[in-house]
Chain A
């Protein structure tokens, strides 16, 4: 019977089986030895799309979806212009696949070329690929790229980098011959003395992030000079919305820049899909992981776009490829491009300023809560760290019950940080919500 996206009628199936020369579909599975056949398989019976959607609504309702979000940790609650859903929602984009046949994939290819150009402009670097999985895996890929470029085996990692990204980095490199030296944060900043002590001519790269896990924004220009003098590279992870106003990775002297693109037009969606970006100096392009779109011309000299430098990739170079990545996060990167186009050149700077204004306001309000102090060691963007007069975890749990995700307690990620809380304030948080956060926090601290 024809059902759920399997269109054949019994009559058509009979005709097809006759052409093949078998009596039944079951005969086509004869190459699978009988003794290997499936024993159990217990999914529930199927249902219509209407019942399915209702069931999904039920599951969605079993989550608290209207929390007031003051949390970040790599994912940010930003506005998404309506055009992003509508344009990226065109089926010609989302039901296509990797543009291996360029003539009938110019839409995807040109869009990715425009995306790569946007990433180059944001980071100030020369070349970008067509996306990686997420920010954490992009950091790992950036580190591995630095290892290849320098042919060295040692990494210095700022402990202020997002703890999940550091964990992913360690997991990626666990089975390879690489020494990872993690530099414990000093008052929410890169420990530069320790860095100087550890930096040597075996170091492939220094890995840093800005704004960092504590929300602090540091200028790494001096670090870039030091690592370059030692013959290594600077790899920076950056928050792309912040790059609307902050010094670009290239201006700081970074050789490789990575980050998570969720904040550019991708919904929170419980952590994915988002996309990772990676950009680098042109000299390193052959060591880039993943797909790259390049400009060329057709037989008539007309501009067109193709996947290029594919000889780096797994489908040609197999075990010698620069990375194993095949599918990337193309549609999310397209959303990123559409977002950046809709917000635009001055818009991104305005958006960044708006985020900072909100966060600075929140800082000033939270500083008035008795017992709360704001970490003041460096300027911040839209996240900052506060110290509470008691452990942060139970306070956060108490506020969560009142519908406020008040921040990310750092005790779980840093030793001796039990009282520290990182508060994130995007443009979506209103003054009313910020004032309420302060009031609720004060209440929770009194109890």
Chain B
């Protein structure tokens, strides 16, 4: 079972060895409303932690999605391009967006656990 971590910008990273799957939290998906578009990066793209990784749009909002961890894009969930509604249906499971090969596992220390994230949401 992989460990899940969250950012203050409401991304999650599910880390499994050297691979992390990235998505946005259920809270973020709810706040955005009906998602209409997910812009995914190209495979092979390298990102630093907290740099822009992808973008997401709903009817009335547009947001950047930041990389929770540094790494190289190994795969993207291209199903989201045709079915953006999956983000609303299953933000933290089926609607993963990017698979990163992470370059610095120590960065996980800067992310929140689920408990910490739940507490963080209460402060907003």
Interface residues of A, Cβ cutoff 8 Å to B: 286, 309-312, 316-317, 320
Contact with A along B55-73 (1 / 0, CB 8 A): 0011111100000000000
Separation in Å of the B86 CB from the closest CB of chain A?
A: 18
Cross-interface CB contact of B59 among A286, A310, A317, A320, cutoff 8 Å:
A310
Interface residues of B, Cβ cutoff 8 Å to A: 36-37, 57-62
Rounded to whole angstroms, the CA-CA distance of A327 and B61 in the bound complex is: 20
- Residue ID in chain B nearest A308 by CB atoms: B59
Do A286 and B37 have beta carbons less than 8 Å apart? yes
Q: Which residues of A contact B62 (CB under 8 A)?
A: 311-312, 316-317, 320
Q: Which residues of A contact B57 (CB under 8 A)?
A: 311
Interface of chain A: mostly helix, strand, loop or mixed: helix
Cross-interface CB contact of B61 among A286, A309, A316, A320, cutoff 8 Å:
A316
Rounded to whole angstroms, the CA-CA distance of A93 and B90 in the bound complex is: 44
Rounded to whole angstroms, the CA-CA distance of A312 and B58 in the bound complex is: 10
- Most B CB contacts (10 A, CB to CB) among A309, A311, A317, A320 go to A311
Separation in Å of the A106 CB from the closest CB of chain B?
A: 18
Q: Which residues of B contact A320 (CB under 8 A)?
A: 62
Do A316 and B60 have beta carbons less than 8 Å apart? yes
Rounded to whole angstroms, the CA-CA distance of A312 and B57 in the bound complex is: 9
Can you name 18 A-B residue pairings with CB atoms under 8 Å?
A: A286-B37, A309-B36, A310-B59, A310-B60, A311-B36, A311-B37, A311-B57, A311-B58, A311-B59, A311-B60, A311-B61, A311-B62, A312-B62, A316-B60, A316-B61, A316-B62, A317-B62, A320-B62
- Given contact pairs A310-B59, A311-B57, enumerate 14 new A-B contacts (beta carbons under 8 Å): A286-B37, A309-B36, A310-B60, A311-B37, A311-B59, A311-B60, A311-B61, A311-B62, A312-B62, A316-B60, A316-B61, A316-B62, A317-B62, A320-B62
- Residue ID in chain B nearest A313 by CB atoms: B62
Rounded to whole angstroms, the CA-CA distance of A309 and B37 in the bound complex is: 10
Q: Which residues of B contact A286 (CB under 8 A)?
A: 37
Rounded to whole angstroms, the CA-CA distance of A286 and B58 in the bound complex is: 13
Rounded to whole angstroms, the CA-CA distance of A84 and B59 in the bound complex is: 34
Rounded to whole angstroms, the CA-CA distance of A312 and B37 in the bound complex is: 11
Q: Which residues of B contact A309 (CB under 8 A)?
A: 36
Q: Which residues of B contact A311 (CB under 8 A)?
A: 36-37, 57-62
Q: Which residues of B contact A312 (CB under 8 A)?
A: 62
Q: Which residues of A contact B36 (CB under 8 A)?
A: 309, 311
- Most A CB contacts (10 A, CB to CB) among B36, B60, B61, B62 go to B62
Q: Which residues of A contact B61 (CB under 8 A)?
A: 311, 316
Rounded to whole angstroms, the CA-CA distance of A377 and B36 in the bound complex is: 50
Separation in Å of the A292 CB from the closest CB of chain B?
A: 13
Q: Which residues of B contact A317 (CB under 8 A)?
A: 62
Separation in Å of the B70 CB from the closest CB of chain A?
A: 22
Rounded to whole angstroms, the CA-CA distance of A310 and B37 in the bound complex is: 12
